[in-house]
């Protein structure tokens, strides 16, 4: 189990989303539900949600002034600690909204960064999260400062947030340079480790967060990395030899999951971790087959794979969690490149092995 932050009392949150343009209500609900899971993972409690339909975001306050007033009332009535926007806010919008509401305001990228800060364990992932957080917060320092410093920590202000928001930009700039230097050093060690694996066939597990990558990894390597029903349980990539009756010269890497609206600063600072995906001989794209939004999530993963320039690596799509499908659900037919499995219940793994070995070169 992860700890839920060092603030003892769970923070009470308002969630705010905008259905922009032709976005359907269902779609925005899907997104806000995901935001609610993120808040829960970060140790907060959803108290109320506000959704507004608009053609485009308000340049100054993202949502309209009327709704800002409604939220302000709710903040006062229900002892709200923070307001979370489901989209990225510009530095300007963030400042205006914080001033209008007089409470801590964060956006979805900041919430994701916060969860990363909470779950980072290794030296490398801590450096990576620190760097991403600093780069995201740097242009947003003005205006955030008063609310964060008053609250001392909590959601959106862990990691470097708590202490470093109080130092000035120049110092943050310096810290960014130092973090980059330290990461370069860690990257060198990674290169050396990679050299040792040059003669191995390399498989990378990728997929949306909570799809079951670590569960499959554990099954294939008889390992015990953290697998749990939380978002972003895995941040560090782990590479091991596949041990379950496979030829010995295959290694497999479990790595960080993806999500919609992943801050690009995070993708950038996790570059060396994600390079394991880039350099793989085969990608297993893990999908939660029981998820009604699986196709949308596959698209998100494809987009990130493009972003990290891994789109040329051959890939198999693994439909995991088929044990959760009902009789009426269409089970994906096991055909070329689409493999139904259950990592948890040990279903379809022989088939997966055949498919992997067929691509073993
Ligand atoms: N029913 C069922 N649950 C599964 C299966 N595979 C994984 N799970 C569950 O799904 C949840 C997430 O599994 P993880 O393996 O941690 O997922 P992940 O993709 O590594 O997630 P992150 O590291 O957070 O990105 C856990 O509660 C698992 O027990 C499966 O085949 N069937
Ligand atoms: Mg994992």
Q: What is the pLDDT of residue 190?
A: 85
Please state the atom number of ligand 1 nearest to the C-alpha of residue 233.
24
Q: Return the DSSP state at 58.
A: B
User: What residues are neighbours of ligand 2 (ion), with CB under 5 Å?
Assistant: 213-214, 233-234
Which residues does 72 contact at the CB level (< 8 Å), separation at least 6?
100, 101, 102
| Closest protein CA for atom 21 of ligand 1 | 210
Question: Is residue 1 pLDDT above 50, yes or no?
Answer: no
As a whole number of angstroms, the distance between CA 70 and CA 79 comes to 14
- Ligand 2 centroid to Cα of residue 32, in Å, is 22
The fold of 12-170 is: Rossmann fold (3.40.50)
| Closest protein CA for atom 29 of ligand 1 | 228
| Closest protein CA for atom 25 of ligand 1 | 209
- Ligand 1 centroid to Cα of residue 58, in Å, is 38
As a whole number of angstroms, the distance between CA 73 and CA 16 comes to 14
Question: Is residue 312 pLDDT above 50, yes or no?
Answer: yes
- Average pLDDT for residues 231-239, to the nearest whole number? 87
- CATH 3.40.50.300 segments of the chain: 197-358
Question: Is residue 336 pLDDT above 80, yes or no?
Answer: no
- Average pLDDT for residues 314-318, to the nearest whole number? 95
Question: Is residue 52 pLDDT above 90, yes or no?
Answer: yes
Mean pLDDT estimate for the chain: 87
Q: What is the pLDDT of residue 166?
A: 55
**pLDDT band per the 50, 70, 90 thresholds, residue 148:** low
As a whole number of angstroms, the distance between CA 87 and CA 218 comes to 34
Looking at per-residue pLDDT, the higher value among 333 and 17 belongs to 17
Of 83-87, 292-296, 311-315, 356-360, the one with minimum mean pLDDT is 356-360
Edge to edge, what strands does the sheet with 282-288 contain?
Answer: 238-241, 250-254, 201-207, 282-288, 315-320, 338-340
Q: What CATH superfamily classification does 197-358 receive?
A: P-loop containing nucleotide triphosphate hydrolases (3.40.50.300)
Q: Burial letters for 186-219: b for 16+ Cβ neighbours within 10 Å, e otherwise?
A: beeebeeeeeebeebbbbbbbbbbbbbbbbbbbb
Cβ–Cβ under 8 Å, residues 233 and 259: no
CB-based pocket (< 6 A), ligand 1: 207, 209-215, 227-229, 231-234, 257, 320-321, 323-324, 342-345
Question: Is residue 145 pLDDT above 90, yes or no?
Answer: no
Please state the atom number of ligand 1 nearest to the C-alpha of residue 345.
31
Cβ neighbours of 166 (radius 10 Å): 12
As a whole number of angstroms, the distance between CA 223 and CA 243 comes to 9
Q: What is the pLDDT of residue 151?
A: 52
- pTM assigned to the model: 0.87
Which ligand is nearest to the Cα of residue 288, counting in written order?
1
Give how far the C-alpha of residue 55 lies from the chain's centroid of Cα atoms, to the nearest Å: 28
Chain segment 160-217, per-residue pLDDT in tens: 554 545 556 777 888 899 999 999 999 898 888 888 888 899 999 999 999 999 999 9
**Phi and psi (nearest 5°) for 250?**
-120, 130
**pLDDT band per the 50, 70, 90 thresholds, residue 5:** very low
- CATH 3.40.50.11060 segments of the chain: 12-170
Please state the atom number of ligand 1 nearest to the C-alpha of residue 286.
19
- Ligand 1 centroid to Cα of residue 251, in Å, is 20
- Written as six digits, the tokens of 154 are 């909590």
Strand partners, 203: 252, 282
User: What is the torsion angle, in degrees rounded to the nearest 10, for the CA atoms of residue 343, residue 296, residue 302 and residue 133?
Assistant: -90
Looking only at the bridges linking them, the beta strands covering 250-254 and 238-241 are antiparallel
Which ligand is nearest to the Cα of residue 318, counting in written order?
1
- What is the three-class DSSP state of 202? strand
């Amino acid at each position: 189990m992860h700890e839920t932050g060092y603030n003892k009392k769970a923070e009470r949150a308002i969630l705010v989303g905008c259905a922009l343009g032709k976005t359907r209500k269902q779609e925005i609900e899907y997104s806000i539900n995901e935001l609610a899971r993120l808040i829960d993972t970060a140790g907060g409690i959803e108290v109320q949600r506000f959704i507004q339909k608009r053609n485009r975001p308000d340049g100054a306050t993202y949502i309209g002034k009327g709704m800002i007033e409604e939220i302000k009332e709710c903040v006062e009535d229900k002892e709200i600690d923070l307001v979370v926007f489901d989209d990225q806010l510009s530095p300007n919008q963030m400042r205006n909204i914080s001033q209008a509401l007089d409470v801590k305001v964060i956006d979805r990228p900041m919430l994701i960064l916060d969860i990363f800060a909470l779950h980072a364990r290794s030296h490398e992932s801590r450096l990576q999260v620190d760097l991403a957080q600093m780069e995201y917060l740097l242009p947003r320092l003005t205006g955030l400062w008063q609310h964060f410093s008053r609250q001392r920590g909590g959601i959106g202000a862990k990691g470097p947030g708590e202490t470093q928001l109080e130092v000035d930009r120049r110092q943050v700039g310096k810290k960014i340079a130092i973090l980059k230097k330290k990461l370069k050093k860690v990257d060198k060690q990674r290169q050396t480790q990679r050299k040792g694996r040059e003669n191995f066939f390399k498989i990378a597990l990728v997929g949306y967060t909570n799809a079951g990558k670590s569960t499959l990894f554990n099954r294939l390597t008889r390992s015990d990395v953290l697998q749990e029903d939380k978002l972003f349980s895995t941040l560090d990539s782990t590479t091991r030899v596949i041990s379950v009756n496979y030829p010995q010269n295959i290694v497999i890497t479990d790595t960080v999951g993806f999500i919609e609206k992943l801050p690009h600063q995070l993708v950038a600072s996790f570059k060396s971790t994600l390079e394991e995906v880039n350099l793989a001989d085969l990608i297993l794209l893990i999908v939660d087959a029981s998820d009604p939004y699986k196709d949308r999530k596959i698209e998100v993963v494809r987009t990130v794979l493009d972003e990290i320039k891994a789109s040329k690596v051959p890939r198999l799509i693994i439909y995991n969690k088929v044990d959760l499908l009902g009789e009426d659900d269409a089970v994906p037919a096991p055909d070329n490149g689409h493999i139904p499995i259950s990592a948890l219940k040990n279903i379809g793994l022989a088939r997966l092995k055949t498919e992997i070995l067929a691509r073993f070169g």
